[in-house]
Amino acid sequence: MTEKKEVKSAPKAVKKAPAKKAPAKKAVVAINAENVGFKAGDVYNALAAEAKALTVAEIAKAAKISSEEVYLGIGWLFKEGKVKGENDKVTLA
């Protein structure tokens, strides 16, 4: 009787599914007087450091805060008369 030899085949290439990106987490912004006041300070300091008009994105990057937080801070500073709008940019008044 002849023995059957086991033939091992080469492993099949496994296609990997493309990596799915996790949805971006939205920043949770606590809206209270203390937090908004701190964000206003961050915005003011970023504008003072640059000494020129900046866009919201530029302020967010310079202050290391989200654009939502920048808008909160700008609102506070507008109310106090500390900033003004200038060609889609914000500058110190």
Residue predicted with more confidence, 26 or 41: 41
CB neighbour list of residue 92: distance below 8 Å, 6 or more residues apart? 44, 47, 48, 82, 83, 84
Structure confidence at residue 52 (pLDDT): 93
| Average pLDDT of the segment spanning 46-70 | 94
**Reported confidence tier of residue 62, pLDDT bands at 50, 70, 90:** very high
The residue ranges of every structural domain in the chain are: 33-92
Structure confidence at residue 28 (pLDDT): 74
**Fold type of domain 33-92:** Arc Repressor Mutant, subunit A (1.10.10)
Residues of the chain with pLDDT > 70: what percent? 73
**Reported confidence tier of residue 74, pLDDT bands at 50, 70, 90:** very high
**Reported confidence tier of residue 34, pLDDT bands at 50, 70, 90:** confident
